Amino acid sequence: MVEVSNFIRTMPKAELHVHLEGTLEGDLLLVMAERNKIDLPFDDADGIRRMQNETKTGLTNNLVNFLRCLDICREAMRTAQDYYDTAMAFVRKSAGENVVYLEVTFDVQQAIRQGVALSECIEALSRARREAKRDHGIDVQLIACFQRDHPVENAMETLMALDPHREEIVGIGLDNYETPGFPELFAPVMSAARDRGYRLTSHCDVNQPDSLTHIRECVDLLGVERIDHGLNTAQDAALVEKIVSQRIALTGCPTFHVSMTSAPSDRVEMIKTLFHAGALISLNTDDPAQFGSGYLSHTLAACQAAAGFGDDEMIRFMRNAFESAWIDDRTRSEYLTGLDRFRAASAA
């Protein structure tokens, strides 16, 4: 693991792209599996890590392999208590490294499929939000993600079922396996979500078939204001210009599930290109427990080391995160002022 500087550790931080299910650490997973009577294909946390590493072979199948492994882990989450415990474990980790703002994604259809009542799941996560603020001073907002490899009709039904909980959810996203032509298919769902006042994002994973087309269509057909990953934008100058001029935010994740000691170089090169072109790009962990990549400080440190960024550039990435956050302008300005003060104090 890369060493984390004091500057990065103490910088006030925001994270916008992190999956609740991907923060589930081995020790909690084992507790959960036991109380839910789930058979896992491993006996201890080392076994989990071994399996994660075994499935991380080759580049093209990485997303599929990674999701397969993630599926085994997240399927152990069967009760609202499991969602609460996972959220609070992540909040405590985040508090330990001065994260002040979090937007956390959860797979709402998966929770329902696994027998968790929607209202109980949302109540558990809302309780975690309140306790994060009360006990750790962290503002947490929730993004409900629909899974692209499940029927679009189910996404629409789930969107409707979320209506009574509208105030607890800030945004709607799309994630899981990147299916061909998904933007057009999900356009009616995202349009209905927009009508309900949700903010919109979608994954466009790195180096997938039709990455560039998907990114363009997510902006033009779905009207998203943010793309999760979206790094392949860097390969197309016209798309870079579009993303920059329309201020579409990109939530980059430099440390992926290849080898977690450093950030894979192609991602770093794409992040550099987008950053220097003036894109609103931030740095995020995605699935920190699954990737074994460490949490936000480690991700920032790994990217800084791999890209040769200085501290001023890390501040700019963090400004981008606060600029992309789904908060009101006054709150945004308070966060940015806090970041400026931190920079001034660390330079003194």
Residues that bind Zn ion in the complex, under the rule CB under 5 A: 286
Identify whether the C-beta of residue 202 lies closer than 8 Å to the C-beta of residue 222: yes
Q: Which is nearer to Zn ion, 252 or 339 (CB)?
A: 252
- Give the nearer residue to Zn ion in terms of CB position, either 15 or 343: 15
Least distance from Zn ion to the Cβ atom of residue 165, Å: 22
Closest-by-Cβ residue to Zn ion is: 286
**Cβ nearer to Zn ion, comparing 21 with 286:** 286
Please spell the DSSP secondary structure of 58-113, one letter per residue.
Answer: SSTTHHHHHHHHHHHHHTT--SHHHHHHHHHHHHHHHHTTTEEEEEEEEEHHHHHH
The residue among 107 and 286 lying less far from Zn ion, judged by its C-beta, is 286
CB of 205 to Zn ion, least distance (A): 8
Cα angle 344, 100, 196; round to 5 = 125
Residue 232 half-sphere exposure toward CB, CA atoms < 13 A: 14
Q: Give the CA radius of gyration of the chain.
A: 19
Q: Work out how close the CB of 70 gets to Zn ion at its nearest, in angstroms, rounded to a whole number.
A: 10
Query: Minimum Å distance from CB 256 to Zn ion?
Result: 10
Identity of the residue, 85 or 286, whose beta carbon is nearer to Zn ion in the bound complex? 286
CB of 4 to Zn ion, least distance (A): 22
Q: How far is the CB of 35 from Zn ion (least distance, A)?
A: 27
Pick between residue 82 and residue 286 the one whose CB is nearest to Zn ion: 286
Please, how many CA atoms are within 13 Å of residue 197, restricted to the half-sphere of its CB? Answer: 8
